[in-house]
Amino acid sequence: MRIAPRTVGLLLACAAGAAPFSLSPQPGVPPAGDLDPSPAAAARPDGPSLPAFKLTGDYRLKPEDRVEISVFGEEMTREIVVRPDGKISYLLVGEVDALGLTLDDLRKELERRLSEYIVNPRVTVIGTSFAGNFVSILGAVHTPGRKVVSKNDHVLDVISMAGGLRFEDITVAAGVGCSGQASTGAVLVDVDGDGDLDLLVNGLGAGTRLFLNDGQGKFLEKTDSGLVRDSGARSLALADIDGDGDIDLYIVNYRRTTARDGTQRVGITI
């Protein structure tokens, strides 16, 4: 029996599957390395809570970032969101173009403008949340969409933010449902040499069954493969048993009253 040496792994059921997902950075958003996370969290009154971070000095503001602006000695403390056009509105000075400014740049600009109304204004600008730093995760996750990230976040962290991977049982749809069968083992291997992984399945009272992969996510059982289907419950493994460089199929038949096993060579017809 010749089997192409392309084994992926051992299955304990007939089959399982999942759809892919993608993680893509948003245009115009620099790496999250500009952010230094802190334990604090800022709650948005108009939506879910977003993580708060401490900005490094070179971080530049983006739309949807939030800043808290206060003036020493004045009742002028406000939390402000950078608008989609990159501007903010503040008391007395009106609109200020904040897009691309550092917090220190914004502080200086506000002090310059406020000096027309207040003698020697001392402005403090604090970043509270930074929704402008995000990635989008799509596909087989529970809550796809945009996720706010910090410099310490990795791909697995973003998947966790999205509720983890979502799996769909496609066993029956793929043609390997093995209805009514108590499967004892399975292995994926390219039996017919077409580059697609085929499926060998053992089961109680079912012997060994071969399902050929059509390359499109569907499997068709090969009933005339030469594999024996009897009442014995079998386990199986792939190895180069005879040392000729080809992967062979090793099948073990175990019974209720003995621990003895044996091998049987068969020719699989494709």
The model carries a pTM of 0.43
Residue 187's DSSP bridge partners are 10, 200
Q: What pLDDT does residue 265 have?
A: 57
Q: Which residues of the chain have pLDDT under 50?
A: 1-55, 256-261
Amino acid in the structure at residue 51: P
Q: What pLDDT does residue 199 have?
A: 93
User: Closest Cα partner for 234 from 192, 178, 182, 177?
Assistant: 182
Q: What pLDDT does residue 97 have?
A: 96
Q: What pLDDT does residue 270 have?
A: 58
Q: What pLDDT does residue 102 have?
A: 92
Q: What pLDDT does residue 267 have?
A: 59
Q: What pLDDT does residue 50 have?
A: 42
Q: What pLDDT does residue 198 have?
A: 94
- Give the tens place of pLDDT for each residue, 128-185: 888 767 788 998 899 999 887 776 788 898 899 999 998 888 889 999 988 888 888 8
- Give the tens place of pLDDT for each residue, 211-232: 999 999 899 999 888 887 765 6
